[in-house]
Amino acid sequence: MNYRSLNHLSQLSTECAGKISCDIDLVVGIPRSGMLVASIIALKQNLPLTDLYSFLRNDDLKKGNTRTYKHAELVKPQDAKRILLVDDSISSAKSMFAAQEQVKAVYKGGVVTMAVFAERHNRHLVDIYLELVEQPRVFEWNIMHHEFLKHACLDIDGVLCVDPDMEQNDDGPRYRDFLACTRPLFIPSVKVAHLVTSRLEKYRAETEEWLKRNGVEYGTLHMLDLPTAEERRRLGIHSRFKAEVYTKQLLTRLFVESEEKQAIEIMKLSGKPVYCIETNEMYLPGQLSNLKANTVRKGHRLKEKLVSKVKATLVKLWVSSTTKA
């Protein structure tokens, strides 16, 4: 399971900035995901930005008032001499080809095509790609609407809805009020194979009612069959219960968990990928050591920056005191 986050996308757009030629006048994003990438590139390159359909209609370009843009004189997008047509990824490249045909029907200027993520077999279908990421792959911005969810397990609290606070989590009337009124977070647009929650079985009716009211489609709802929340806390089996369900469902390829500690534990126990909402990380078997190493490296870099700042401050103070003397 190859996963890329928004943070990775931003870093990649900086590292690969040199791939975008200086003669680009305008960045055109293919909705919806292509607009995310196009916005990042346009901001970092300080270029005008529009979406594909505004370009086709030749709508006036919209600009802010807080900065100076390259090609600020450009008003009509089709007056650009050369555009960058952007999508987040390509697989069959149908979206990119369709967009190119639409652009060519109304525009005689140069068109450079770009996809951030391509595969070895299709990288030749665009002029520019930033990284090769093979299938199966999923991104932070599409994971809750991806076809993978048809073969996935999802947690409920912290994923589909907000978590209860300490006062609400009384295993009594306040908790029942929470179950009825809790605010939705990330509602999938595809049917999910399994919902796996540490909520107690005695709250099934309230849970099913909330799911129906909020349009959550799912196959099976797995709940913890214990008498009280106190017993659940005593046993501490949240992660183990979820991992057992995930492991038994042989067709499942992904678990979406809200909490980092549980996500890592579910991954270890099941030996299968787990995506964590809290950290925006995909935890994969055999890669936990890499995550720890990255954390250590980040800590070292932060320490080096702090030491450098302290040294610089001390030097300034020394220079200032010497000058006064």
pLDDT at 72: 81
| Per-residue pLDDT tens over the stretch 127-172 | 999 999 999 999 999 999 999 999 999 999 999 999 999 999 999 9
Helix axes 260-270, 288-324, angle to 10 degrees: 150
**Structural domains of the chain sorted by starting position, each given as residue range(s) with its CATH number in brackets:** 2-139 (3.40.50.2020), 143-283 (3.40.50)
What percent of the chain is predicted at pLDDT more than 90?
A: 84
What percent of the chain is predicted at pLDDT more than 70?
A: 87
C-alpha to C-alpha distance for 237 and 224, rounded to whole angstroms: 9
- The average confidence (pLDDT) of the chain is 91
- HEC assignment per residue over 240-288: HHHHHHHHHCCCCCEEEECCHHHHHHHHHHHCCCEEECCCCEEECCCCH
Reference 199, options 245, 137, 156; nearest CA is 156
- Does residue 307 carry a pLDDT above 70? no
| Sheet with 26-29, side-by-side order of all strands | 49-51, 26-29, 82-89, 110-118, 128-132
| Per-residue pLDDT tens over the stretch 173-196 | 999 999 999 999 999 999 999 999
How confident is residue 313, by pLDDT bands cut at 50, 70 and 90? Answer: low
3-state secondary structure of 126: coil
How confident is residue 63, by pLDDT bands cut at 50, 70 and 90? Answer: confident
Higher pLDDT, residue 86 or 291: 86
Token pair 């925006």 in the structure block, residue: 280
pTM score: 0.83
3-state secondary structure of 129: strand
C-alpha to C-alpha distance for 79 and 194, rounded to whole angstroms: 51
Is the C-alpha dihedral spanning 294, 295, 300, 303 positive or negative? positive
